[in-house]
Amino acid sequence: MKNRLLKLIKSTYGIIIILFIIWMIFFDSNSFIIHNELNNDINELNDQKSYYEKEIAKDNIELQMIQSDSGLEKYAREKLYMKKDNEEIFLIEYDTISD
């Protein structure tokens, strides 16, 4: 068995097959390494796609909230710090550093 394998490797066909496999793994434009890099890129892009889809869903919910009058007023007060003419706003900031 060992002798047959050694004869195959030493033969012309064996050398050609080994060179072909090495070429396909490392040097070809469709090599295994390039396919692996492209698959990693696809996975990263799919992760970004799912992140942006979640952000779009969040923004759509916020947009629906803003379209009502009470939601618009709540958004303006909380996010933009707007007030009515006869009101005062006090912003309380907490010290996050504990001694």
Over residues 79-91, mean pLDDT: 81
What pTM was estimated for this model as a whole?
A: 0.56
Q: What is the pLDDT of residues 3-38, one digit of tens each?
A: 777 777 778 888 888 888 888 888 877 788 888 999
Residue 30: how many other CB atoms lie within 10 Å:
8
Phi, psi torsion values for 28, nearest 5 degrees: -70, 155
HEC assignment per residue over the chain: CHHHHHHHHHCHHHHHHHHHHHHHHHHCCCCHHHHHHHHHHHHHHHHHHHHHHHHHHHHHHHHHHHCCHHHHHHHHHHHCCCCCCCCCCCCCCCCCCCC
- Output the six-digit token pair for 43: 């996975």
Q: What would the pLDDT profile of 22-79 be if each residue is shown by its tens digit?
A: 888 888 777 888 889 999 999 999 999 999 999 999 999 989 988 988 888 888 888 8
